[in-house]
C-alpha cells in the first residue's frame, strides 16, 4: 500500500492548496486595495443631496447653501433634489434605501427624524438603524411671540392668563407635529399652562393671523418673527434655546423665565445611508465642518435664523438619539397624530 505522505496525490493536493490559498490572499488584498483606492478617490462623480421638502423654505435654502459650498470643497457638484411629501418622510425613505456609497445624502430635519416616527402609524424608515450621521449643520432657535394686544408680557404672565381662559389661550404653529408644536405641548406639560394648539400650513400663515390679531400667540423660528419683533408689531415672550439669541439679546430664555431645562431648538443636519464607509463619512464631516467654520457661511445661516453647529458624527448621532427618546413622551401625552 502506497503511503499518502509520499504519494504524488499528496504532493498534488499540497500544491493545489498552497496555490489556492495564495490566490485567495492575493485576491483579498487586491479587493481591499481596490476598495481603499475607491474611497480615497471619493467623490469621483456628482453627489445627490435629497431635500425632503419643497423649494423656498428655510430648510431648502440652508441645504442649497451647504450644497454650493461643499461642491467647491469636494471638486464635484452636489446637486439638490427636492422630494417633498408626508412631513419629509418620502425623501427620507429614498435615502434610507439608497446605495451606501456616499453619492446620495440626506438633508435631515428634526421634525421628520425624531418627531414624525412617534406620530405616524407607518414611518418607512428607522432613524437610528437606517442612517449614518455625518454632522449637524445648525440649530434654529424657536421663539414664542404674542400680539401687542395680549395683556401679558412675561412668560409667567402668559401662563397665568392662559389659566383664566375656559377654552385655553390659542397658539399657532407651522403645523401638527413640527418642533414649534412639540415645544408648545412641552410647555403645557411642564407648567400646566392652558394652551390650545392651532396648526397652520406653514409658519407664514400663522404669522399673518397673529399680526391681524386673529390669534394671541405663535410659536415659530426666530427667523420668521424677528423683523416683526424689532418693528414693534409683535412682542417677544421668550426664546427656547439655552442661551439668548444673538439676534435678539434682550429677549429672555424660557429657562430664565422659570422653566428649568427648557432647551428646544429645531435642527438640520447631513446624513448618509447606513453602512456608508467610515472613511467617506469622515471626509464629508471634515468638509462640512470647514464650510460651517467659514464666517461668510455662518453669517448667511444666521440670516436664516440658524446657528452653525460644527461637530463630529458621533455627537450628531447622540443628539438625534436623545431627541428621539425625549420627544416620544411629549407626543404620546399630547396625543399628536401626523397629518
Residue 148 and residue 89 share a domain: no
Q: What is the pLDDT of residue 338?
A: 80
CA neighbor of 135 nearest in space, from 297, 280, 22, 289: 289
| Whether residues 149 and 129 fall in one domain | no
Do 161 and 310 lie in one domain? The reply is no
For residues 195 and 160, state if they share a domain.
yes
What is the distance between the alpha carbons of residues 131 and 138, in angstroms, rounded to a whole number?
Answer: 18
In this structure, the answer to whether residues 288 and 317 fall within a common structural domain is: yes
Q: For the chain, what's the residue count?
A: 339
In the chain, DSSP finds a helix count (H) and a strand count (E) of 12, 10
Question: How far, in Å, CA of 297 to CA of 64, rounded?
Answer: 12
- For residue 106, what are the β-bridge partners? 50, 271
Per residue, what are the HEC states of 6-61? CCHHHHHHHHHHHHHHHHHHHHHHHHHHHHHHHHHCCCCCCEEEEECCCCCCHHHH
Note the pLDDT of residue 95: 98
Verify that 149 and 226 share a domain, yes or no.
yes
Task: Enter the C-alpha cell of residue 91.
Answer: 425623501
Could you tell me if 317 and 327 lie in one domain? yes
156/217 same-domain check: yes
Residue 152 within a domain = yes
> Looking at 198, 222, 239, which one is the last position of a domain?
239
CATH number of the structural domain spanning residue 194: 3.40.190.10
d(CA 168, CA 189): 14
Per-residue pLDDT of the chain (339 residues; tens, 9 = 90+): 444 444 544 554 455 445 554 445 445 544 444 445 555 689 999 999 999 988 877 888 899 999 999 999 999 999 999 999 888 899 999 999 999 999 999 999 999 999 999 999 889 999 999 999 999 999 999 999 999 999 999 999 999 999 999 999 999 998 888 899 999 999 999 999 999 999 987 788 899 999 999 999 999 989 889 999 999 999 999 999 999 998 899 999 999 999 998 999 899 999 999 999 999 999 999 999 999 999 999 999 988 889 999 999 999 999 999 999 989 999 999 898 886
> How many structural domains are present in the chain?
2
Q: Would you report the helix, strand and coil content of the chain in percent, each value rounded to 5?
A: 45, 20, 35
Cell 426666530 belongs to residue:
222
CATH number for the domain including 296? 3.40.190.150
Residue 191 lies in a domain: yes
> Residue 6's pLDDT is what?
47
Residues 6 or more apart whose Cβ sits within 8 Å of residue 192? 159, 163
In a domain, 8, yes or no: no
Q: Which domain holds residue 187?
A: 141-239
Tell me if 257 is assigned to some domain. no
Q: What is the pLDDT of residue 28?
A: 52
Residue at a domain's end among 204, 239, 274: 239
Amino acid at each position: 500500500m502506497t503511503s499518502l505522505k509520499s504519494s504524488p496525490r499528496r504532493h498534488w493536493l499540497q500544491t493545489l492548496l498552497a496555490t489556492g490559498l495564495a490566490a485567495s490572499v492575493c485576491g483579498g488584498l487586491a479587493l481591499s486595495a481596490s476598495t481603499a483606492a475607491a474611497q480615497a478617490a471619493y467623490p469621483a462623480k456628482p453627489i445627490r443631496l435629497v431635500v425632503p421638502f419643497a423649494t423656498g423654505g428655510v430648510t431648502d435654502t440652508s441645504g442649497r447653501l451647504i450644497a454650493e459650498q461643499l461642491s467647491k470643497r469636494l471638486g464635484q457638484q452636489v446637486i439638490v433634489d427636492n422630494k417633498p411629501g408626508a412631513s419629509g418622510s418620502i425623501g427620507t425613505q429614498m435615502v434610507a434605501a439608497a446605495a451606501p456609497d456616499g453619492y446620495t445624502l440626506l438633508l435631515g430635519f428634526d421634525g421628520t427624524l425624531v418627531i414624525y416616527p412617534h406620530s405616524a402609524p407607518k414611518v418607512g424608515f428607522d432613524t437610528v438603524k437606517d442612517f449614518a450621521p455625518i454632522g449637524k449643520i445648525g440649530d434654529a432657535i424657536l421663539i414664542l411671540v404674542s400680539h401687542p394686544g395680549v395683556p401679558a408680557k412675561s412668560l409667567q404672565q402668559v401662563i397665568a392668563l392662559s389659566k383664566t381662559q375656559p377654552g385655553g389661550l390659542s397658539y399657532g404653529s407651522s403645523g401638527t407635529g413640527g418642533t414649534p408644536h412639540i415645544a408648545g405641548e412641552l410647555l403645557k406639560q411642564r407648567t400646566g399652562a392652558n394652551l390650545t394648539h392651532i396648526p397652520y400650513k406653514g409658519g407664514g400663515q400663522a404669522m399673518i393671523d397673529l399680526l391681524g390679531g386673529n390669534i394671541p400667540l405663535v410659536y415659530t423660528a426666530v427667523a420668521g418673527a424677528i423683523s416683526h419683533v424689532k418693528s414693534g408689531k409683535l412682542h417677544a415672550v421668550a426664546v427656547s434655546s439655552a442661551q439668548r439669541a444673538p439676534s435678539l439679546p434682550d429677549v429672555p430664555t424660557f429657562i430664565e423665565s422659570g422653566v428649568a431645562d427648557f432647551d428646544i431648538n429645531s435642527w438640520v443636519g447631513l446624513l448618509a445611508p447606513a453602512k456608508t464607509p467610515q472613511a467617506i463619512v469622515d471626509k464629508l464631516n471634515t468638509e462640512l465642518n470647514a464650510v460651517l467654520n467659514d464666517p461668510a457661511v455662518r453669517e448667511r445661516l444666521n440670516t436664516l435664523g440658524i446657528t452653525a453647529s460644527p461637530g463630529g458624527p458621533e455627537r450628531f448621532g447622540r443628539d438625534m438619539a436623545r431627541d428621539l427618546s425625549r420627544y416620544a413622551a411629549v407626543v404620546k401625552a399630547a396625543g399628536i397624530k401626523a397629518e
